[in-house]
Every structure is written in C-alpha cells, then in structure tokens.
Amino acid sequence: MKLGVFAVLFGDRPLDEALDLISSHGLETVEIGTGGYVGNAHCNPVELLENPTKLQAFQQLLKERNLEISALSCHGNPLHPNEELARADHQAFRNTVLLAEKLGVETVVTFSGCPGESENSKFPVWVTCTWPDDHATVVEWQWKERVVPYWTEQSEFLRQHGVRVAIEPHPGFVVYNNETALRLRNECGNNIGVNFDPSHLFWQNMDPVASIKELAKYDALYHFHAKDTAIDEQNVATNGVLDTKPYSDEMNRSWIFRTIGYGNSEDTWKKIISALQLVGYQGAISIEHEDSLMSVEEGFQKAVGLLKNSIIKEKVGEMWWA
C-alpha cells in the first residue's frame, strides 16, 4: 500500500505548490480532481487531451516529485433528472476516462449517481425505506430504467479504453453500501468496483473491516479514502442518524465528518488498515479532508502522522509454528 492524498484539499494553490507540499510529507501518490462536485482546479481533462505540450508539462510536475497518480476523480451525478446537469457530469466522466488512458492511470473515481422517481422528475430521489409500496416501486424503476442501462454502457466504454471505475458508496446516491455496490458490479460489469470511504459507512452502522473483507472476495476493492466520522450519541439518541441539517451545524447534527482519529480511535483505524493488508490491497490510502472543526493543513498533517504509524511496511514471513 502507498500513502497519498486527494489533492482537492489544496485546490486553492497552484498544482506545483500543492505537489511540493504533498511531496514534502513523504507521500507517494496523489488523487487528482477532474470535474463534477470536486472541480478541476489542478487538472482540466479537455485542455490536457487537446494540448500535448500541456499534458507533458502536467506529467513532468509529478515525475519531478516522484509522485504517481492513484486515481482521477470526477464525483458527479450523471443520472440527474435535469438533463443539462446529467450531461455535464457524464461528459466530465468520459473525458476523465480518456485522460486516464492517456496518462496510464488505471482507476477513475466517481459516484453512481441518483435519478428521480419517474420520467417527470426535476430532482434526484434517494429512497431510504421500502414502505409505503411507492418507495419500492421507485427503486425498481430507477435501477431498471436508469441505473443498469447507463452503467452497462459505461462499463463497455471503460473496457474499450483499458480503465476501471471505482464507485464511492455514498448516501444520497443509488450505491451507498456493499449490497448496492456489488449489485451494480454484478448487473453492469466487473470493471466496476468500489472507492472505499469509511466515513460514509460509520454513520450507517456498518463495520469497515467486515465490509472490506466482503468486497475483497469479489475483487471489487479498487481505491481507498481515509476520512472519519464523529457520531454525536446524544443527538442520535433523540433524532437517529438520518440528518438533513447543514454540515456547519455541528452542535446539532447527529454526525459530522472528521479527520481520521477524531471520530474513531487510532486503534479502529489500525484495524481498518490491517484489514486492507490482510485482503491483499495494494493500492493507495488517499487522505481526504472535510473536517469543519480543523484547518486543512492541521487535518492533513494529523492524518499523515496517524497513517504512517498504522501502515505496516514489511510483512512477516512464515511463523515457526506454521
């Protein structure tokens, strides 16, 4: 495994300055945002695809710092019922795949997307329960009419260009846990896997270690985000975990995103990292920061320190009693 970072943390800096900072902390990989919700501050796929000189300069910046790209990320909603929004995110995804092919990057990260509830929808509809029966009908329509056709087509596109997609399970989209991630893979293509982010699982009461082991059985673990979640037990006790209050309302929310180690213990994170090693994961541990209680710089430094202390660099051979 290699330690890296999602460079959108430093989207307010030019790429060369961001890479200098990342390299100075001894990291080996960088995940680059190429569009969608995460923006493309450091990398405009269209510009690089159309201009070989700019593409070469982009590659040189990474080479000079001995950094490799773990993934190109264009988190968006290509299934949005607003056709203009869907088209923009779809095109960002396709351009990202083409750029990944050019750069020799194996993995593109994005969301599954979420459609509306019918042909007449204006906004996405995420269903969280099966009754009244309307809800189950909506889920069936979404998968049959929107999700499976779209991702089956994208799976073939990915195959043509030698790239795979890591879908990040995220509440609010049709893929939000292991079950829905594996359903998408099974129904649409085995080059569709998972960008594993424990922060979205903790508050759903999922066990990241168990989830990692299950995904590994299907060779579906493609990429990993290091981000934590803190759960407010008092607020959960009265309101549960489904929470639509702004992330800035930290005092009253049931949960908020945190820098790793500030939601769950260092011991928990060591178990997660050990589970990755146990299943043979060889990819990047990409640090992500969405902690509203801590600056980007401090959160980044603390995450690097915890992970460097958790990643086992050298595996022991056979034990004497084996």
Parse the chain into domains and list their residue ranges.
2-310
pLDDT score at 316: 54
Specify which residues 287 forms β-bridges with: 5, 226
pLDDT score at 321: 44
Enumerate residues 6+ apart whose C-beta is below 8 A from 261: 228, 269, 302, 303, 306
pLDDT score at 319: 43
pLDDT score at 66: 97
Residue 113 tokens read as 């997307």
pLDDT score at 94: 98
pLDDT digits (tens, 9 = 90+) for 283-315: 999 999 999 999 999 999 999 999 999 887 656
Enumerate residues 6+ apart whose C-beta is below 8 A from 317: none
pLDDT score at 311: 85
SS (H, E, C) 8-51: HHHCCCCHHHHHHHHHHCCCCEEEEECCHHHCCCCCCHHHHHHC
Hey, what CATH class is 2-310 in? alpha beta
pLDDT score at 317: 56
pLDDT score at 196: 98
Query: Which 3 state secondary structure label does DSSP give 72?
Result: strand
pLDDT score at 303: 97
Residue 277 tokens read as 């090693």
Residues in the chain with pLDDT values less than 70: 313-322
Radius of gyration (Cα) for the chain, nearest Å? 20
Rounded to the nearest angstrom, the gap between the alpha carbon of residue 306 and the centroid of all alpha carbons in its chain is 20
Q: How many helices (H) and strands (E) does the chain have?
A: 12, 10
Phi, psi of 231 (to 5 degrees): -105, 130
